[in-house]
Amino acid sequence: MRHALGVLGVLAAGVLLAVSAAMNWRFGLNLGRTEFDGQIYGAASAAADCLKALLPFFLAAAIRNRMWSQAVASALVWVVVTSYSLTSAFGHAALNRFDVAGKRAQEHQVYKDLRGDLQRAKDQLSWVPQHRPAQTVQADINSLKNQRMWRWTKACTSTKSRSKRGFCDKYHALSSELASAKQSVALEARIASIGAKIEGLGGSTASSKADPQAEILASLTGFEMEQIQLGLTLFVAILLEVGSGLGMYVAFSQWRLYERHAPAAPRMRRTVSTAAAAVAAPEVTPVPVAIEKPRSGANDNRSDVPQRRVAPENDVERFYKEKVETQDGSSLTATELYEEYCAWCETKEKEPLALPTFGREFGELGVQKGKIAGRVRYIGIALRSGKGLAGVTNTPAFGKKAA
């Protein structure tokens, strides 16, 4: 589960880093006087954005190794590249948001105008009197024109008699009906054209407001639209920068990159007296030990005790005696122990061993080691408080090998 979460976090942080690098590249591309200069600035901006994601690792490593000058340099470079990336993110986010909002506002206005034209055309169509199809009315008019009365009235310009007036009244009624039919056809064509334009705009997008999110937040908070849009722009830019700059460092924490596991050490063995050992295991044959003859003139009243050759103590053993004490129920992580060892070496003006070497030599002292909550811990020991260390020795549970 931990590895799955780590992989998902790395993928999400990688996407944010890619987006941020692309924004920096576009921002740098616009800074060049020529196309080649723009490519140079764009590449430098993208590289700075990638460096922004790596610098937290470098800073943590420098602090861990107590390399303060490198830590300060890493922090300074991180601040510079993050500030540069943040300005490009601000510009890119503002440009896109206001462009999109302006385009939506224009589309919304066009949509409103078309809806108004459509409604007016429908109203005009409803005002047109009832009529027959234009082809039918035109056929009736042509039939009237073929009659003799059409010639006698001189195309309905001479209506002295009642029959002529009746004929012309019928002709004028058909002409009016034909005009209504033609107007109806024109209005229907106009309505169809406006409907096609509205569909081309995309009804859901064009009918929505220019910036619905900002308008909702403005109505809830009472701030002005411009202030809400500015705040949203800043929020998006900060989201990209924080996610791309620290996302990788947070995601890789699942694997504890800086923790080094010391090699396995044998369990601590208790020393027993010779008598108890003889009772517990009488069949064990004693191992002969080389005995060194006492030197002439030596002031030793126990010349019969064999002298064993003991190897000199190393730095890890001296550190154990001076800074560590046995304590039931206590434990120390490998990291805490190594940091205390480095501090001890600094006071003694000694070069500390590497963490794996230190862990191996410390494990040879016989201290019990286990893994608790995913971290390596040395069990049964604690750091001394620093008081009363003079003349105090802490003999580890290990035996000196005879020469």
pLDDT of residue 268: 45
pLDDT of residue 160: 82
Q: Do the beta carbons of residue 28 and residue 38 sit within 8 Å? A: yes
Cα–Cα dist 18/26, whole Å:
12
pLDDT of residue 120: 92
**Burial class of 364 by CB neighbour count within 10 A (0 to 12, 13 to 18, 19+):** middle
pLDDT of residue 175: 92
**Burial class of 341 by CB neighbour count within 10 A (0 to 12, 13 to 18, 19+):** buried
Number of C-alpha atoms within 13 angstroms, CB side, residue 204?
0
Nearest Cα neighbor of 48 from 69, 19, 21 is: 21
pLDDT of residue 373: 79
Cα–Cα dist 65/54, whole Å:
17
- Ordered by where they begin, the domains of the chain are 2-107+223-255 (no CATH), 260-271+309-403 (1.10.10.10)
Residue 325 bridge partners (DSSP) = 382
Nearest Cα neighbor of 10 from 258, 254, 251, 255 is: 251
pLDDT of residue 389: 41
Q: How many CB atoms lie within 10 A of CB 278?
A: 12
What is the reported pTM? Answer: 0.41
Q: Do the beta carbons of residue 141 and residue 174 sit within 8 Å? A: yes
H or E stretch at 177: helix 162-201
pLDDT of residue 229: 77
Phi, psi of 269 (to 5 degrees): -110, 135
Question: What is the DSSP code string of 329-343?
Answer: EEEEEHHHHHHHHHH
Q: Do the beta carbons of residue 167 and residue 149 sit within 8 Å? A: yes
Cα–Cα dist 336/274, whole Å:
38
| Strand 324-333 relative to strand 375-383, pairing | antiparallel
Q: What is the pLDDT along the chain (403 residues), one digit of tens a residue?
A: 667 777 888 888 888 888 888 888 887 887 778 888 888 988 888 888 888 888 888 888 889 888 999 999 999 999 998 888 888 777 777 777 766 777 777 777 888 888 899 999 999 989 989 889 989 999 999 998 898 889 888 888 888 888 888 889 989 999 999 999 999 999 999 999 998 888 887 655 555 666 777 778 888 888 887 788 788 888 887 888 888 888 888 877 766 555 544 444 444 444 444 444 444 444 444 444 444 444 444 444 444 545 555 556 788 899 999 999 988 888 889 888 999 999 999 998 888 998 889 888 888 888 888 888 778 888 989 998 754 344 344 545 444 433 3
